[in-house]
Amino acid sequence: MLMLYNTLSKRVEEFKPLNEFRVKMYFCGPTVYDYMHIGHARAYVAADVLKRYLSLKGYDVLHVQNITDIDDKIIKKANDENVSWEVITERYIKDYIDMLNRLNIKIHIHPRVSDHIKDIIEFIEDLISKGYAYVTPSGSVYFSVDSYPHYGELSGRLDRTEWRQEEEFLAEKKKPYDFALWKAAKPGEPYWESPWGKGRPGWHIECSVMSSKYLGSQFDIHGGGQDLIFPHHENERAQSEARFGLRPWVKYWFHVGYLTIRKEKMSKSLGNVIYLKDIFNKVKPEVLRLWVLSAHYRTPLEFSEEYLENANKLFNRLVSSVNLLKKLLTEVEPTHYLDERGISILKELSNIRESFYRAMDDDLNTPKALACVHELTTLVFRDLEQKPTLASVLKAYSIMREFNEVLGVLDNYIYTGVKEELLNKLIELLVIIRQKHREVKDYETADWIRSELMKLGVKLMDYKDRSKWVLEL
């Protein structure tokens, strides 16, 4: 039974999705005005591990993660560089997708705000007609916080006299804590036509709109970094529960802790931001994943060379043990008899597997789960290498594969080998096809095949009468 911390109730709860077989989750993605940094990696790996664990437990998970491609920061960056906002967003969306791929994170739907303007307008019109929002003479629309009685419950900010938001609009808002749903266009800014004139959506509305479009008006998990709890998630919740008249809009709120460097929060203003594109020159994405999992997702995660080195050691140990298991699998004889030690190894393996699940069930306690992974490798090196039996090797290998469903760091080692022969034959076939093009002097196609193979890590070397190839992975 999975127990998960819920920011709304502020306690660990038993996880029961709205539909017993399916889990629908929405995670707030990046505002694309800069390259991805290790803080993004932390949040997205945490969400990915939650999704992977739910999938491992048999749920059919649908994961939506938005891309904010309309925002003040994007407009500023475009003005600074004297290019259109699309140039900026395209550049950083490419980086975002590239980094997710390297981190082995797969997301079903990446909705972009600029593709959902019509849906956003519809949502806002509904809020206005239901009395939750108001239009100002400038052509902006604001959410009236006082009209929604549960405002502040998620973040615990119930006393509204204490705070205000979006201060630049204080003059036209009815209350200092109301927030923009639609911002009237200022000169030189990108805009879209709307019933209230030219303008663009405020930040918070996009997530209410895109989550409901793909996941329905109620869903299971909404996540993001802890810094999004207020005001972003508080505002999203207000808009959605107001429009749909359903509570709770989201069953479980999942928030990921900060990243620290020398115990200070990583931030642009402190100038200590570490970009993924840079760190990947030194550290494998798999190692970064293991480092993220070395801390519980709700606690601060400290960045240090030492922690990365620990993760690197664990990764190398995992790879060696997988390679050893694969080798043993081809060598061991069928098991007809087990001595006492052989029987107790099988029990130990089952215990390690159970401890891993117990740790993950305990609000995704990944540090504990990693300790189980370490224990498994110890058993592989200590016992299986010395005295392997088919029973123990098979069991250890299948547990390793199961663990990797959550860790996502061994795909390149686990999923190769079995079909290697077929892979080799297919490459050979492409080499022969290319050779045939060369023979009829169709060098264009031949070169194209060569360069496409190169992109996949297959390097061709041409000799007088034949070509050889080598895998450069």
Give me the residues that bind Zn ion (CB under 5 A), please.
Answer: 28, 207
Q: How far apart are CA 117 and CA 114, in angstroms?
A: 6
Closer residue to Zn ion (CB): 250 or 431: 250
For residue 231, what is the DSSP state? I
Closer residue to Zn ion (CB): 102 or 222: 222
CB of 97 to Zn ion, least distance (A): 18
CB of 70 to Zn ion, least distance (A): 13
Closer residue to Zn ion (CB): 243 or 289: 243
CB of 227 to Zn ion, least distance (A): 11
Looking at the chain, the number of H-run helices and the number of E-run strands are: 15, 15
Looking up tokens 């069928």, which residue turns up? 334
Closer residue to Zn ion (CB): 4 or 207: 207
Q: How far apart are CA 7 and CA 420, in angstroms?
A: 47
Q: How far apart are CA 399 and CA 106, in angstroms?
A: 22
Closer residue to Zn ion (CB): 166 or 385: 166
Q: What token pair was written down for 215?
A: 């996941």
Closer residue to Zn ion (CB): 233 or 434: 233
Three state DSSP letters for 423-465: HHHHHHHHHHHHHHHHHCCCHHHHHHHHHHHHHCCEEEEECCC
Residues 6+ apart with CB under 8 A from 386: none
Pairing between β-strand 60-65 and β-strand 22-27 as defined by DSSP bridges: parallel
Closer residue to Zn ion (CB): 70 or 287: 70
CB of 53 to Zn ion, least distance (A): 22
CB of 105 to Zn ion, least distance (A): 17
Q: What token pair was written down for 171?
A: 């003059």
CB of 233 to Zn ion, least distance (A): 7
CB of 134 to Zn ion, least distance (A): 23
CB of 228 to Zn ion, least distance (A): 6
Closer residue to Zn ion (CB): 40 or 395: 40
**Per-residue buried b or exposed e for 362-379, using 16+ beta carbons within 10 Å of the residue's own CB:** ebbbbeebbebbebbbeb
Residue 449, CA distances (Å) to 101, 420, 422, 428, 434 in order: 24, 21, 19, 12, 7
**Per-residue buried b or exposed e for 138-169, using 16+ beta carbons within 10 Å of the residue's own CB:** ebbbbbbbebbeebbebbebeeeeeeebbeeb
Q: Is 337 left (phi over 0), alpha (psi -120 to 50) or beta?
A: beta
